[in-house]
Amino acid sequence: MTKDKRNYQTCSSPWVKCIYGRLAFLCLAAAAIRYWLIFFSKYQSLIADHIEVSTPLNAWKRVKEGLYLFSIGINPYYGDMLHETPTSLFFYQFITESLGLSTGHIFIIFDIITATFLFLVTRQYMFMVYIEREENKSSYSKNIEEYLYTNENFRRAPLYVAATFLFNPYTILNCVGFTTTVFFNFFLSVFLYLLLSRKFFLCSLFLAFCTSMSFYSIILVVPMCLHAYKQFNGNFRAIFSMISFLVNFLVIMFIGHLLDKTDSFLENVYGFIITVPDLKPNIGLFWYFFTEMFDHFRELFIYSFQINATILYLIPLALKFHNDVFLLITALLYISTIFKSYPCVGDVGLVLSLLPCYKHLFNYSQQQFLILVIYIISFCLGPIVWHLWIYSNSANANFYFGVTLAFAVAQIFLVTDILFVHIKREFCLYFGKKSRIGGKEAILVLE
């Protein structure tokens, strides 16, 4: 064990003694809430059918129908019903048949495991931040203690992340609604843990799984390569991680070809994500715009929207935040969640659960109250406006899109606020709060 590792554990030793006990208590409490909503309440079917929770890409009803068609020898990709890859379908069949548990129990177990991995991810990230603080402390400016991570941040952040995931209304609805986003979040959390643990081959394997399930995850290849380059001070590991990802992804696609035999899943899964043929309302921005768009402009704006959701922000963010890969990943996940074609509350819930990693930035956030208010209002108004529009016929699509647009604006404000405050904090660490304006001393204040 290195000296830095011993020092890190020593600074948190009073907390380490009971941290896993507290995590177990949180997991049991969260599992009890999910268990009651699934097995004892009347809301499970209502939640599962709601458009904020289920989309054409993640609805469990479609998976069950696909598994049934597959079992009787009918290709489930004929038609427009199933949008899961054959490997994902095989995985769902394996876990439902081999575990011998009901669907509700399986979803609860995977949600709890995901929270545990996020807890471990945060511990790894906090250790990396601790090492960076100790190595660079001598180069920091004077009187900047308020901008540093404290030992309390190191100790409490993992539990805060786990608690945010376990008791977040978005992740609870995602689990209770039986969406395959639960499994995607599991694979993504394992990818993050392996990435920060520097196990790049396994990391690339799980990223390939994530990309096969949600094509937008391919943008995480860049932070994976950046982290490999930073950790091993060379191009070899970065190139190796890239090649490993490509090989693993091609193997997954080949297995899908063997299971499907017709390759029709490519159009039904990735073609469906890219071309957005189903314009049923969701919490994203695609459906309303392309409902109103003239058909002869459709391809132009499809390309524009998809570029916006993938590579448009990737290069500038990677250049600016290459030294903090986890922050880069958080920003990219937020952006893909906002601009992807079929988002759901499960995607939002995962990225929100990463926020306690940056708790030290909250005091300098400029828009946190506004963001919180918009989140609460949009969360409450969304189902109400949907009911008024569809069932009461006393509203129209503009009402619901107004709510989803406000929700997207809140997410944009949130990610930009975190990134700007992080940049200001980095400046203060090395140059201090004091500066000169017009030859006179001034103080740079993070507000």
* Structure-token pair, residue 20: 């896993």
Residue written as token pair 């830095």: 4
Total domains in the fold of the chain:
1
Q: Which helix (H) or strand (E) holds 195?
A: helix 181-196
Q: What is the pLDDT along the chain (447 residues), one digit of tens a residue?
A: 455 555 554 444 555 557 888 999 999 999 999 999 999 998 999 999 999 999 999 999 999 999 999 888 888 898 888 999 999 999 999 999 888 889 999 999 999 999 999 999 999 999 888 888 788 777 777 777 777 777 777 788 899 999 999 999 999 999 999 999 999 999 999 999 999 999 999 999 999 999 999 999 999 999 999 999 988 877 888 899 999 999 999 999 999 989 887 888 999 999 999 999 999 999 999 999 998 887 888 889 999 999 998 999 999 999 999 989 999 999 999 999 999 999 999 999 999 999 999 888 887 888 888 999 999 999 999 999 999 999 888 888 999 999 999 999 999 999 999 999 888 888 888 877 766 555 566 655 655
Report residue 50 as tokens. Answer: 């709601």
Which two tokens mark 312?
């448009």
Count CB-CB contacts under 10 A for residue 14: 11
Range of the domain at 21: 3-443
Which contacts qualify for 43-48: CB closer than 8 Å, 24 or more apart?
43/176, 44/104, 44/176, 44/177, 44/178, 47/173, 47/176, 47/177, 48/176, 48/177, 48/178, 48/179
Classify 324 in phi/psi space as left (phi over 0), alpha (psi -120 to 50) or beta: beta
> Which of 427, 423, 404, 276 minimizes the C-alpha distance to 345?
404
SS3 443: strand
Amino acid letter for position 192: L
- The pair of structure tokens assigned to 44 is 């499970």
Report the predicted TM-score, pTM, of the whole model to 2 decimal places.
0.92
Rounded Cα distance between 307 and 274, Å, is 10
- What is the rounded CA–CA span in Å between residue 104 and residue 39? 8
Radius of gyration of the chain (CA): 23
Cα–Cα distances (Å) from 365 to 173, 360, 405, 406, in that order, read: 28, 10, 22, 19
